[in-house]
Chain A
Amino acid sequence: MHTERRRRTIFELMREYIDDLDRFAEELIESTALIERPSWDTEAYTLEPLHNIFITPDEAMVTVDLPYTEPQAIKVKAISEDQIEITAKMRRKVCFHDFGITHRKGEFSSFRCQTRIPVPVDTKRMKTKFKRGILEVRLPRKKGYKIKGRIGASHA
Chain B
Amino acid sequence: MSQPVKIVERKPVPSDAIMLYGLPDVGLVGLIATAHIVSELKLTEIAYVDSDILSPIVVLHEGLPHSPLRIFGNGNLIAVVSETPIPAEAVSPITRALVEWGQSKKAKTMISIGGMPIQNRQDVKELEVFGAASNRELLSLLQERGVEILMEGYVVGPQALIMRYCTEKNLSAIALLAQSFYNYPDPEAAAAAIRALSKITDIKLDVSKLLEKGEEIRLRARDVMKRTQRELTEMKKTQEYDVPLYV
Interface assignment of B225: CB less than 8 Å from any CB of chain A: yes
CB <8 Å contact, B184 and A50: yes
Question: What are 25 A-B pairs at a CB distance below 8 A?
Answer: A39-B222, A39-B226, A47-B222, A48-B222, A50-B183, A50-B184, A50-B185, A50-B222, A50-B225, A52-B183, A63-B183, A65-B184, A65-B222, A67-B215, A67-B216, A67-B218, A67-B219, A68-B219, A99-B220, A131-B123, A132-B121, A132-B122, A133-B215, A134-B184, A136-B122
Residues of A within 8 A of B123 (CB): 131
A94 CB-CB contact with B under 8 Å: yes
Q: Is B183 touching A133 in the complex (CB atoms < 8 A)?
A: no
9 nearest A-B residue pairs (beta carbon): A67-B215, A67-B218, A65-B184, A131-B122, A67-B219, A132-B122, A52-B183, A68-B215, A134-B122
Interface residues of A (CB under 8 A from B): 39, 47-50, 52, 63, 65, 67-68, 94, 99, 131-134, 136
How close is B27's CB to chain A, nearest CB, in angstroms?
11
B223 within 8 A of A: yes
Question: Chain B's interface: helix, strand, loop or mixed, by majority?
Answer: helix
Which chain B positions have C-beta within 8 A of A94? Answer: 219
Q: Mark B110-125, 1 if CB is under 8 A from A, else 0.
A: 0000000000011100
Distance in angstroms between the alpha carbons of A132 and B188 in the assembled complex: 10
Give per-residue flags for B178-190: 1 if the beta carbon is below 8 A from chain A beta carbons, else 0.
0001011100000
What total of chain B residues lie within 8 Å of the partner, measured CB to CB?
Answer: 17
Count A-B pairs with CB separation below 8 Å: 39
Residues B162-179 near A (CB distance < 8 A): none
B215 touches A39 (CB 8 A): no
Complex: A48 Cα to B214 Cα, angstroms:
18
CA distance A39 to B226 in the complex (A): 10
Minimum C-beta distance from B130 to chain A (A)? 21
Task: Evaluate whether A50 and B226 lie within 8 angstroms (CB atoms) in the complex, with A68-B215, A99-B220, A133-B218 already known.
Answer: yes
Give the Cβ gap from A109 to chain B, nearest Cβ, in Å: 13
Shortest CB distance A120–B (Å)? 24
